[in-house]
A and B are shown apart, each in its own frame.
Chain A
Amino acid sequence: MLQVRDLHVAYGQSEVLHGIDFSVAPGEIVAIMGRNGMGKTTLMKALMGIVPSTAGDVRIADSDVTRLKTYRRVAEGMGYVPQGRAIFSTMTVQENVETGLSSTGKKAVPGDIYELFPVLLEMKGRRGGNLSGGQQQQLAIARALASEPKVLLLDEPTEGIQPSIIREMGRVLRRIRDERGLSIVVSEQVLSFALDVADRVLVLENGRFVHDAPREGIDEAKISKFLSV
């Protein structure tokens, strides 16, 4: 569903990602692990076209999106939940979700989105900025789902969120995958969450993938070694 080939990304002269290769099958959940500063967020931003790539290409379901602007990538099927959530804080919950409809041409939010996150329906008239961190995270996911993505990118979704909600989020992500058959790429530092949701775990270190293993029979000790400083 998502194919990334030899992706290079640089901030000015300093190259941060040195040739990333990976692909995600339809309905697969991939976790990208790595310590701070290893390039997880840069990779996410490069996939969305927020940070320009210097070489390589990105394809969604056989259409090349490498040269497309961010909003066109969304129309091609990329959904993005950024680190820190970045919801529109002065807009109501409902309006936040509706911004995701821009690329689909629909007028109303499909009901199944609120089914996934009943708390958002209760709060749909509230301003996004007045929600708690966990609710904002759900809102950010709902907003991304409104654009009917084929690939959903989540950048550190567990950051600053209480453990019970993290477990709930893992369940919701798997449910989204099962119901909609979309592929999910999630960048993570919390190993337990990654092992809980992912079918495959990749480890990013200094702008390269250094480890790639399916969840079955994964060597937990080895991955935690990559994560500890």
Chain B
Amino acid sequence: MFDGFTMGELGAIFAMQGFAGLILFSVFVLMALGLAIIFGQMGVINMAHGEFLILGAYVTYLCAQFFEAFLPNLYGIYFFVAMALAFCVAGAFGMLVEWGLIRHLYRRPLDTLLATWGLSLILQQTYRSVFGAREVGVTIPEWMLGSLQLTDLIEVPINGIFVMTLTTVIAGLVAFMMFRSGWGRRVRAVVQDRTMAGAVGINTEMTDRMTFGIGCGIAGVAGSAFTMIGSTGPTAGQLYIVDTFLVVVFGGAGSLFGTIASAFTISQAQSVLEFFLSGSMAKVLTLLTVVGILMLRPQGLFTLKIRK
């Protein structure tokens, strides 16, 4: 499959596909971070996670429309406003869903799965009714257009760099909150032993609600970033939910570092393979490898070592 390429060209291809893989990696990480909190930490299988992502994307779209119509000279910064809004809207909606639906279904994983799948269908139809079935896109502000020419053969898109920076910042923030803040400590305590967490004075219900809200909020931010590299349709969330679960399970549920490492492995493999094979063959090969590794190591790539 390497026929007809010179060594220099091959190097450039690997570098650029590697970079494309890094962008895919960033989106995976953003999506998986929310899920790693909700599924990895709380053990809740949220099938509607993709729809929270799309909610964030639509909020960004509406925000872009608003800036275009009323504040055209501030259009360059609309994305930051949109991202904060997407976090708040998706987070608030997540807390509402936890209060109305999820909290009645803790310790009933199959029911949760069914209920959140139903929720995802409802949300999809709502998006379709409100925004129409056609995909919508935003105009990317000028400073984010174009690409950096690194050498004659290698160039990297600026919006890709932006998404990567964003991911790094958010991943850092999540790690900090999880391992250094009082909230993170409470979340980890509740996850391990709900009864005992209550008995040391932790308000477990409030902690659950906050956790679910923050997970959904991060999905909203991921959706916001998603508009930079693709268009948004009512069912776009469905396309990503399987990949995202795969990333979280492969990385080892409960391990943030594992999630990031597995997102990196899967996205790089997929992106580099895609250039040389067809897209679906790349996917098949990646999935087969992941399935094989999970059969040998069901707990995922990274787990904590603790006396049982």
Contact = CB atoms under 8 A, between A and B. Distances in A.
B192 to A, nearest CB: 5
Contacts of A74: 198-201
A65 to B, nearest CB: 13
B210 to A, nearest CB: 13
B239 interface: no
Given A71-B203, A88-B193, A130-B306, A50 B188 contact: no
A74 B203 CA distance: 10
B259 interface: no
B231 interface: no
Interface in B187-214: 188-189, 192-193, 195-204
A71 B306 contact: no
Nearest to A148: B201
Contact of B200 (A50, A102, A129): A102
A103 B202 CA distance: 7
B307 A82 contact: no
Contact of A147 (B188, B189, B195, B201): B201
A100 to B, nearest CB: 5
A2 interface: no
Interface in A125-167: 127, 129-130, 143-144, 146-147
A104 B182 CA distance: 12
Contacts of B192: 88-91
A3 interface: no
Question: For the complex, would chain A's binding face be called helix, strand, loop or mixed by DSSP majority?
Answer: helix
A1 interface: no
Contact of A102 (B186, B195, B306): B186
Nearest to B304: A90
Nearest to B254: A90
A107 to B, nearest CB: 8
B189 A91 contact: yes
B185 interface: yes
Interface size class of A (residues with CB under 8 A): 20 to 34
A209 to B, nearest CB: 24
Contacts of A69: 198
Contacts of B195: 50, 70, 86
Interface string A70-110: 11001100001010001011110001001111111001000
B186 A80 contact: no
Nearest to A128: B306
B199 A91 contact: no
A129 B307 contact: yes
A91 B188 contact: yes
A48 interface: yes
A129 B193 CA distance: 13
Given A88-B188, A88-B193, A99-B186, A50 B202 contact: no
Nearest to B206: A71
B196 A71 contact: no
Given A50-B195, A50-B198, A95 B185 contact: yes
A225 B211 CA distance: 52
Contact of A130 (B188, B197, B198, B307): B307
9 contacts: A71-B204, A88-B197, A89-B192, A90-B304, A100-B200, A102-B182, A102-B201, A107-B182, A130-B307
Interface of A: 48, 50, 69-71, 74-75, 80, 82, 86, 88-91, 95, 98-104, 107, 127, 129-130, 143-144, 146-147
Interface of B: 182, 185-186, 188-189, 192-193, 195-204, 304, 306-307
Given A69-B198, A70-B198, A86-B196, 12 more contacts: A70-B195, A71-B203, A82-B199, A86-B195, A91-B192, A99-B185, A99-B186, A102-B182, A103-B201, A107-B182, A143-B200, A144-B200
